[in-house]
Amino acid sequence: MNGSDLVLVVDDEAVNRKLAQELLTSRGYQVAVASDGEEAVSKVRTIRPDLILLDVMMPRLDGLQTCRILKQDDETRLIPVVLLTALSSMEDRVAGIEVGADDFLTKPFNKVELLARVRSLIRVKHLNDQLERTENILFALAVAVEAKDPYTEGHLHRLEEYASRISSALALPAHAKRVNEYGALLHDIGKIGIPEAILNKPGKLTPEEFTIIKQHPEIGERICRPLRFGAEISPIVRGHHERWDGGGYPDGLAGEAIPLGARIVAVADAFDAMTTDRPYRKALALEKAWKILREGAGTQWDAAVVDAFASVPAGRVGVTDSAAHATGVLHRGQVHPPH
């Protein structure tokens, strides 16, 4: 246990708040308190506790509503929440699970059990924090890899936005959308293991050089596998060069055997590659890029993903004015194919 661990106790009964506070401070925890859900939400966003003990039965914003708000917010969703309730029916627990609660304790709680739950969930919170720091380092590393190539400035963030919009057009759930965005950001992280002389070669690659560069999806998968969402992100990273007809690499997957996130990133990546300058050619006009995408739908790319991308409303898609001007892409606010 760390003396800096902060627990937020939320209960509308002052005596209950005092009891929990005294118990936790006697074991070295820092404790903050809130008397209702609205105060709790405000405090969580300010003090970032390591754990929340949350009473269910409260006026105004009850514990279930409060938990739902916190778990739907990317900034607070990983903070463990223990629901404290005098209710013990299966229906009540199911309701708690549905709003994202991490654990339950029945009031009046057993002191030993409460402390054990607090220790366990704070330990999990620390592990998640470590994974989050690792993810941030990897994202920074991915951007650093991109920065070595003057032709791909802004590529990752454009792909993140493309993947986000395609996911929305396909009506994917919020979690899947987030995973696809992460996959887009990290899709080429494996290029850290490829010599720069090959990555930035202005001419055509030799068969030997192409064999080397084809290793980057597998390298990237190994890098991403330990992440918090590694089981979902790594197949995107590994599969973003697969083709719908089975002619891609590294595994020769075809059709729906290719993970959907990888199919989404493949379309986004191809569009961005076609519409930006590269060492081996100048950027293609938007009309030409869309023609190639349409012609490759059902052979190189998933036709449903291409259609979803084509349905994205016109907009700037997350590029800076300078990047848009330099690449000739989206400078006039055009995302979907011209009519």
Tell me, yes or no, whether 332 lies in a domain: no
Between residues 3 and 319, which one has the greater pLDDT? 3
Q: What is the DSSP pairing of strand 51-55 with strand 81-85?
A: parallel
Provide the b/e sequence for 225-242 (b: ≥16 CB within 10 Å). eebbbbebbbbbbbbbbb
Residue 310 or 323, more confident: 310
* Amino acid at the residue 281: R
Task: Please indicate, yes or no, if residue 139 is contained in any of the structural domains.
Answer: no
Q: What is the mean pLDDT of the chain?
A: 84
100 and 178 part of one domain: no
In a domain, 187, yes or no: yes
The answer for residues whose C-beta is within 8 angstroms of residue 271's C-beta and 6 or more apart is 162, 289, 293, 309
246 and 315 co-located in one domain: yes
Type of residue at 87: L
Give a yes or no: residue 12 inside a domain.
Answer: yes
- Residue 140 forms part of a structural domain: no
Among the listed residues 117, 227, 125, the one whose alpha carbon sits nearest the alpha carbon of residue 183 = 227
pLDDT at res. 151: 54
Number of domains in the chain: 2
For the record, the structure tokens of 325 come out as 């001007």
More confident residue, 254 or 96: 254
- 26/120 same-domain check: yes
Q: How confident is the model at residue 279 (pLDDT cuts 50, 70, 90)?
A: low
pLDDT above 90 (res 138): no
Indicate the pLDDT class of residue 89, thresholds 50, 70 and 90.
low
What domain range is 102 assigned to? 6-128
Q: Are residues 110 and 55 in the same domain?
A: yes
Is residue 316 over pLDDT 80?
no
Domain check: are 180 and 122 in the same one?
no
Min mean pLDDT across 52-56, 225-229, 272-276, 317-321 is at 317-321
Q: Are residues 37 and 159 in the same domain?
A: no
| pLDDT at position 326 | 31
* pLDDT for residue 226: 78
Residue of higher predicted confidence among 226 and 316: 226
184 vs 162: CA distance, rounded Å:
9
| Number of alpha helices (DSSP H) and beta strands (DSSP E) in the chain | 15, 5
Taking residues 213-242, report their average pLDDT. Answer: 91
CATH number, domain containing residue 300: 1.10.3210.10
pLDDT for 308 equals 95
**Same domain (yes/no): 116, 156:** no
Per DSSP, which regions of the chain are E strands?
6-10, 30-34, 51-55, 81-85, 103-106
Share of the chain above pLDDT 70, in %: 85
Instruction: Give residue 325's pLDDT.
Output: 31
pLDDT: which is higher, 41 or 130:
41
What distance, in Å, lies between the first and last C-alpha atoms of the chain? 62
pTM of the entire structure? 0.61
Task: Return the minimum-mean-pLDDT range out of 167-181, 199-213, 287-301, 324-338.
Answer: 324-338
| Shared-domain flag, residues 93 and 230 | no
Q: What is the CATH number of the domain that holds 66?
A: 3.40.50.2300
- State yes or no: pLDDT of 285 exceeds 70: yes
Same domain, 165 and 242: yes
Other residues' Cβ atoms within 10 Å of the Cβ of residue 197 = 8
Distance, in Å, from the CA atom of 27 to the CA atom of 295, rounded to the nearest integer, reads: 66
Please indicate, yes or no, whether residues 93 and 213 belong to a single structural domain of this protein. Answer: no
The verdict on 90 and 167 lying in the same domain is no
* pLDDT range class, residue 280, cuts 50, 70, 90: low
pLDDT tops 60 at residue 327 = no
CB 273 within 8 A of CB 283: no
Q: How many residues does the chain have?
A: 339
Residues 240 and 184 grouped into a single domain = yes
